Amino acid sequence: MAAAAPPPPPTPAPEAPTGLPDSDSIPVGHPLFSRIRLATPADVPHIHKMIHQMAIFERLADHCIATESSLSSTLFNHAPFSSFTVFLLEVSPNPLPKITSPNFTPIERIVQLDLPVIDPEAELFKNGTNDVVVAGFVLFFPNYSTFLAKPGLYVEDLFVRECYRRKGMGKMLLSAVAAQAVKMGYGRVEWVVLDWNVNAIKFYEEMGAKILTEWRICRLTGEALEAYRDTF
C-alpha cells in the first residue's frame, strides 16, 4: 500500500492593510494640500493683489484705494485676534513644509480633486521657493454685542481666487474664523454679503448663517466723514 501524500503547506495569513497604495498602483484623484495660517507683513503683496481682485469681482474697483504701503502700516500693529487679523490660505499639489506659530496652530487639510487645478497666476501668487501658492484670505477683527454682553468677530473680507473656488476653500476659511471665535468664548461671527451674490448667500445659509434682511448698512466715509473733523 502506497504511503499517504504529505499534507499541503498551510496557506499564508493575509497581511493587514496599511492604508497606503501599492508602489506600482496609480493614485486616484489629485490631492491638493491646503493650509490656513496667520498672515505676516511679508504677505502684504499677495493680500494687496487679492483685495484688488476682490474689488473687481464685487464691481467696486473704483472704490479700492488700498496700497501695499497703507496695508503694511495698518494691518500688523497689534497682536493677532486683539485687532485686525488675517488668515492666509496656501495650497500645493505636494505636502506643505511644516511651520509653527506661537499664536495660532496652522490648519492643514488635503482636498481630493477629480482634476488638477490649472492656476494661470501661480507665478504671481507663488509663496516661497517651493510650489506653494496663495489661494485666498479672510480678514476679521473683534466687535461687541451689548445684547449678548460678549465680544464677537466681524469678517471684513473673505476671498478665494477664482481657480480655487467651489472646492471647499471658502468654507475652510470661514470655519477657521468661527472655530477661533468659539475657542475665545465669543458670542457670534458676523459679515455682510452683496444682495446680487446669490451663490455666496446660498453658501452662507448652508453653513448655518442667518441672512438678516431687515438690517441696512450705514456708513460715513470720505467727505461726509471729514465734515466732522472740527466738530468738537
The model's pLDDT over 148-181, given as tens digits with 9 standing for 90+, comes to 999 999 999 999 999 999 999 999 999 999 999 9
**Domain-located, residue 11:** no
**CATH code where residue 111 lies:** 3.40.630.30
Find the catalytic residue in 154, 164, 186, 204.
204
**Domain-located, residue 118:** yes
**Domain-located, residue 39:** yes
**Domain-located, residue 207:** yes
State the average pLDDT for the chain.
90
**Domain-located, residue 149:** yes
Task: Render pLDDT for 40-63 as a digit per residue (tens, 0 to 9).
Answer: 999 999 999 999 999 999 999 999
**Domain-located, residue 9:** no
**Domain-located, residue 87:** yes
**Domain-located, residue 6:** no
Is 186 considered catalytic here? no
Give percent of the chain with pLDDT exceeding 90. 85
User: What's residue 129's pLDDT?
Assistant: 72
User: What's residue 18's pLDDT?
Assistant: 34
Helix (H, G, I), strand (E, B) or coil at 181: helix
End-to-end CA distance of the chain: 122
> Order of strands, edge to edge, in the sheet holding 133-145?
107-113, 30-38, 85-92, 133-145, 150-160, 189-190
Classify strands 133-145 and 150-160 as parallel, antiparallel or unpaired: antiparallel
- Residue of higher predicted confidence among 231 and 9: 231
Name the pTM for this structure.
Answer: 0.86
Q: Per-residue pLDDT for 27 more than 90?
A: no
User: What is the number of structural domains in the chain?
Assistant: 1
Q: Which domain holds residue 82?
A: 30-227
